[in-house]
Structure 1
Amino acid sequence: MSDVKKVNPFVKLALELGPIVVFFIAYGRMKDQTFAYNGTDYNGFIVVTALFVPLLALTTFILYRLTGKLSAMQIMTLLIVVVFGGLSVWFNDERFFKMKPTMIYLLFAGMLGFGLMRGQSYLQLVMDEAMPLKHEGWMILTKRITLFFLALAVANEVVWRTMSTDAWVNFKVFGLTAAVFAFFMTQGKLMQKYAIEEDEV
């Protein structure tokens, strides 16, 4: 028996996407403002980052309380957000937070790549219940996602290093989300080909 509790999918989606939506809205309202605290000036991006980190921690905790489980990716994402968001606020330097997606995607790609070298799909361990595939299908999908994560890491580095903060925020909120959605939409044939039928279970 699984200890994972069922939760309304809309509630789950709101908890997962809520923090980034709040970040985007708050940044739009505060990006041109400067806030003085304890003799130091902080721009709107840093202040919004300082709000985003505890908000993500709170929604992740609520998600855990509702479902009884967090994936390794959710835990690692939260840790990286706390570390790099905290560094941005502590040093008053937005570059740390902008590097966060790069670190997350490199970490995920590294974990999945390590599993592939061992002949295993760590992705299968996380998603097998939601998307049952044959082992060969999981290996192919894992290879593709590993390369995809590497491409996203490179794209994030290019954007934050060469474009404005406004451009990076739009890329983070809309570009990366659209890229992930488009990637999985293009994997439909693979999922159909290697899907496990009910009579095979």
Structure 2
Amino acid sequence: MHRAAPRWLKPATEYGPLALFFIVYSAEGLLPATAVLLAATALGLLLSLFFLRRVPMMPLFAAGMVGIFGGLTLWLQDETFIKVKPTIINAIFAAILLGGHAVRRYPLQLVLGTSLQMTETGWRRLTLRLGLFFAVLAGLNELVWRTQSTDFWVAFKVFGLIGLTVAFMMAQTPLILRHRPGENSREN
């Protein structure tokens, strides 16, 4: 049985670890910040388990990636692993979405279908757009971490990726509204 989550749980578990990462990075550097990110992410999973009696799939996937890449970063004392993590996560999302689009299966519809209703054309277009967006984010992360300072990369990771994602999703609002099911949707 699922319990209702406190209102603070989702923002705290999604943004808390990233905020702590940034704060610790600013004071202590990337390796201590990575350790704090690992601990805060694990705490977020425990809080989800305690309050929800389950751990949602996306936070579990994200925690697994933080565990793998953050763990490698600390174990090998090599910043490359934590820097490449956003590239790999975004590339995985791009591959899933674009692969689904190619075979006319829309993973977004499976994940969001109960909370977001759209026509098949809407799901197809949103899946393609989001798949391409994740591919661009993967490329951007590669470009930034390979050509810029660690300070710049951390700011890009914490503020740039989130800002780009929020702006992109806001830009999808007309598509989502245009393809709601019903008499006013346009299936072209």
TM-score, normalized by the shorter chain, greater than 0.5: yes
CA distance change for structure 1 residues 6 and 130 in 2, over 3 Å: closer, same or farther? farther
TM-score under structure 2 length normalisation: 0.90
Amino acid at match of 2:109: Q
Q: For residue 184 of structure 1, report the CA deviation from its aligned partner.
A: 0.7
Trace 1:102-121 onto structure 2 (pairs within 5 A).
102-121=87-106
Q: For residue 64 of structure 1, report the CA deviation from its aligned partner.
A: 3.6
Instruction: Find out whether 1:99 has 2:84 as its counterpart.
Output: yes
CA distance in 2, matches of 1:4, 1:113: 32
Instruction: Find out whether 1:155 has 2:140 as its counterpart.
Output: yes
Contact 1:73 1:108 in 2 (8 A): no
Instruction: Find out whether 1:24 has 2:22 as its counterpart.
Output: yes
CA distance in 2, matches of 1:136, 1:68: 36
Cross-structure match for 2:126: 141
In the TM superposition, structure 1's runs of 4+ consecutive aligned residues that sit over 6 Å from their partners are none
Instruction: Find out whether 1:51 has 2:36 as its counterpart.
Output: yes
CA distance in 1, matches of 2:103, 2:56: 21
CA-atom RMSD in angstroms: 2.0
Cross-structure match for 1:13: 11
How many correspondences in the alignment?
184
User: Which 5+ residue runs of structure 1 have no aligned equivalent?
Assistant: 31-43
Amino acid at match of 2:27: R
* Counterpart among 169, 180, 183 of residue 165 in structure 2: 180
User: Which 5+ residue runs of structure 2 have no aligned equivalent?
Assistant: 183-188
CA distance in 1, matches of 2:84, 2:70: 10
CA deviations on 1:58-101 (whole Å, 9 max, x unpaired) are 20232243234444433222211111111110110111100000
SS, match of residue 115 in structure 1? helix
CA distance change for structure 1 residues 61 and 113 in 2, over 3 Å: closer, same or farther? farther
CA distance in 1, matches of 2:123, 2:56: 18
Amino acid at match of 2:12: A
Amino acid at match of 2:123: W
TM-score under structure 1 length normalisation: 0.84
Amino acid at match of 1:172: K
